[in-house]
Amino acid sequence: AQKITQTQPGMFVQEKEAVTLDCTYDTSDPSYGLFWYKQPSSGEMIFLIYQGSYDQQNATEGRYSLNFQKARKSANLVISASQLGDSAMYFCAMSATGGFKTIFGAGTRLFVKA
């Protein structure tokens, strides 16, 4: 069975600083994908970044990077140069390659302080 664990219910960061949101996962699938989504107060889930389990390099998308440590089964999201608009819920998610469903963690609420 697959499982995603996000142990930080809430995080605070000062504007313009970097922040790391933790995510660990468990799966028996040999090939899988890891995702991060952002959910602002408006409610819509927004895709941020994707990492395939066989990708050699950590994924980056603008100010977002995914710190993938396969042996530790962790896929932490790093947001550099935080902005006030980054305040939102952040969800780590996983799906088996070629599989049907994507499962989500419980989320981390990020507060960016001015």
Partner 1 sequence: DTGVSQNPRHKITKRGQNVTFRCDPISEHNRLYWYRQTLGQGPEFLTYFQNEAQLEKSRLLSDRFSAERPKGSFSTLEIQRTEQGDSAMYLCASRTGLNEKLFFGSGTQLSVL
Residues lying near partner 1 in the complex (CB under 8 A) are found at 4, 6, 33, 35, 37, 42-47, 50, 91, 93, 95, 97, 100-107
Taking the complex as a whole, the smallest distance from the CB of residue 6 to partner 1 amounts, in Å, to 8
Structural contact between residues 105 and 93, judged by C-beta atoms closer than 8 angstroms: yes
Nearer of residues 82 and 95 to partner 1, judged by Cβ = 95
Taking the complex as a whole, the smallest distance from the CB of residue 20 to partner 1 amounts, in Å, to 19
Q: Which is nearer to partner 1, 51 or 82 (CB)?
A: 51
Which two three-digit tokens encode residue 93? Answer: 């998610």
